[in-house]
Structure 1
Amino acid sequence: MRFAANLSMMFTERPFVERFAAAAAGGFDAVEFLFPYEEPAERLRDLLDAHGLTQALFNLPPGDWAAGERGIAALPGREAEFREGVVRALAYARTLGCDRLHCMSGLVPAGTEREALLPVYTANLRWAAAACADAGVTLLVEPINGRDMPGYLMNTTALARRVIEEVGAENLRLQLDLYHAQISEGDLATRIRANADLTAHVQIAGVPERHEPDTGEVNYPYLLGVLAETGYRGFIGGEYRPRGRTEDGLGWLAAWRALVPDTAGR
């Protein structure tokens, strides 16, 4: 297990391109972020190399984010746009050396039943997983809680498992955000164990405020042990909003490294 800083939410005291250096100085092995598409891929690659960082994850294009869209994978009539986004994301992934891409499902339109969107969603995931497999990339789906993102289609680990099994692609896996899972479902240790066979990326944040993971109601040191017991050795992404200056809240990182196998050293 290695720890990644989410640069869309952390170190926001700085311009985006300066956050890479801050993440490395803060002790992180890797970075993740929502979307890279406003920066040339080559520039981001140079920043990763300059600071000894790995690109752990980023998202496929989400549609019109500014207008409130949160993914288009489940939206009928957007299939061509979705495929173009997959191709664009894979081009970035090749340059960044990133082997994990997250596919946002999208919001359920008003007046539409959730189940009615699943055929489009699974068909798009099947196409995207095949394209990612050719590039050696794992495609991820992430359940997101309905408080932070009302109406989001992919909202539970049970639905994620159902969709992953229906698509049947070896490289379609679960992105398990324990912050979202606690709010939506709880019973986190059991949920980690039950989904260990599918989990390919983990994210953490304090609950309920989404601040540093050493605050709030979740016992993450215990859950890190559960993850280790299940054999998880992937990235753990800090996807949280710091209470103040990011560096001032990083005490958890050094302390938790000692709790997790195979994380000593950079």
Structure 2
Amino acid sequence: MKISANLSMLFTELPMVERVVAASAAGFDGVEIQFPYEVPAIRMKEALEAAGLPLRLINLPAGDLMTGGWGLAAVPARQAEFDQALDDALSYAAMVRPVLVNVLPGRLADGVTRECALQTLVANLRKTADAFALLGIAVVCEAVNTTDMPGFLINSSEQLDELLGMVNHANCSAQFDFYHMAMQGEEISAGLERLKGRVGHAQFADCPGRGAPGSGSLDFVNALKALKSSGYSGWIGAEYKPGEQGTLASLGWMDEMRRVLS
């Protein structure tokens, strides 16, 4: 199992393209970026090739989600915006070739029933999975805790399991984030067992605080063993806040994690 650096949260003291080189020098196997779109795709492609690292994952553009809004994927009134986001992501991905694209469900919008929001999300996930299958790129969708993002539509492994069943698409699977599930009070092992065979990507940060492993109370050894026991053999992304110590000083977890995952 290989480890990727989420460059939206790590090495943030550097410009984005320089973070790719920094991740390579620090020993990561690849990188992922939440929203890379401010960097021209050709420039990002060149940076990845120069560093010799694969791009594991990017997110589909999510509108106003990261600034407190509803996002795009589950809001019927924002269908045109979602379709444009999908087109933009397809164009970008055709150049930078991520292995995965993550679609964030977003928050339940005012005046929209949960049933209607889910129907919209399911249709958009199917549309996205179809479109990216033509590029050989897989699609994932994740649950996000409601402390950090109040009102998030999909916030537990149970809801994610239900969603994947509704989507029922070979090119759509789960992104499982240790931090978000721990913040929801879920047992990591139980969530992984529920989603067994349908996890396309995993991510981690300690809980609470979303810091590096060892900064909180999450039992990483048992969580990683549960990940292996579930049959998952993909990559795991470091998506945490290194704090004032900086990214390089926060990487004391890496050797132990590789030992557990080997």
Q: Is 2:23 the counterpart of 1:23?
A: yes
Instruction: Describe the SS at the equivalent of 1:200.
Output: strand
For the residues of structure 2 that align with 1:179 and 1:186, how far apart are their CA atoms? 10
Partners of 1:258 and 1:120 lie apart in 2 by: 42
The answer to whether the Cα contact below 8 Å between 1:164 and 1:172 also exists between their aligned partners in 2 is yes
Distance between the aligned counterparts of 2:70 and 2:14, measured in 1?
25
> Residue 193 of structure 2 aligns with which residue?
193
Counterpart CA distance in 1 for 2:239 and 2:38 is 20
- Which residue in the other structure is 2:32 paired with? 32
Conservation of the 8 A alpha-carbon contact between 1:5 and 1:238 = yes
Cα shift readout 1:113-150 (whole Å, capped 9, x = no counterpart): 32331111111112111112222121111000000111
> d(CA) in 2 for partners of 1:109 and 1:64?
12
Q: Which amino acid in structure 2 is aligned with residue 20 of structure 1?
A: V
Could you tell me the TM-score, scaled by structure 2's length? 0.94
Map of 1:1-266 to 2, 5 A cutoff? 1-65=1-65, 67-69=67-69, 71-243=71-243, 244-261=245-262
CA distance, structure 2, for counterparts of residue 50 and residue 60 of structure 1: 25
Say whether the 8 Å CA contact 2:70–2:109 is kept in structure 1: no
Aligned mates of 2:142, 2:134 — CA distance in 1? 22
Gaps spanning 5+ residues in structure 1: where? Answer: 262-266
Change (3 A) 1:198 1:185: farther
Query: Which letter maps to 1:205?
Result: A
Deviation string 1:67-115 (CA, Å, 9 cap, x unpaired) is 5335301001222221221122122222222120011112112344323
| Secondary structure of residue in 2 paired with 1:5 | strand
**Alignment CA distance shift 1:217-1:27 (3 Å):** same
* Closer/same/farther in 2, CA of residues 78 and 145 from structure 1, 3 Å limit: same
Partner letter of residue 120 of structure 2? V
> Which string of whole-angstrom CA distances, capped at 9 and with x for unpartnered residues, describes residues 21-77 of structure 1?
111111101111111111111111111111121101110011135753353010012
1:70·1:105 contact (CA, 8 Å) conserved in 2?
Answer: no
- 1:180-233 Cα distance to aligned partner (Å, 9 max, x none): 001114211122122121101000001001100232111112222222222211
The amino acid that maps onto 1:246 is T
Alignment CA distance shift 1:83-1:111 (3 Å) = closer
Q: CA RMSD in A?
A: 1.5
Q: What secondary structure sits across from 1:250 in the alignment?
A: helix
Q: Which amino acid aligns with 1:147?
A: T
Asked if structure 1 preserves the Cα contact closer than 8 Å seen for 2:143 and 2:180, the reply is yes
Partners of 2:67 and 2:257 in 1: CA distance = 38
Q: Could you list the runs of 5+ residues in structure 2 that have no partner in the other structure? A: none
Pair 27,155 (structure 1): closer, same or farther in 2 beyond 3 Å: same
With over 3 angstroms needed to count, the CA separation of the structure-2 counterparts of 1:138 and 1:91, relative to structure 1, is same
Sequence identity (%): 38
* Greater Cα shift, 22-31 or 110-119: 110-119
Tell me which moved more, 164-173 or 58-67. 58-67
Deviates more, 1:164-173 or 1:102-111: 102-111
Superposed displacement of residue 174, structure 1:
0.3
TM-score by length of 1: 0.93
Q: Which has the higher contact order (CA 8 A, sep 6+)?
A: 1
Correspondence for 1:264: none
Amino acid at match of 1:252: W
Do 2:205 and 2:238's aligned partners in 1 also have CA atoms closer than 8 Å?
A: yes
Aligned residues: 261
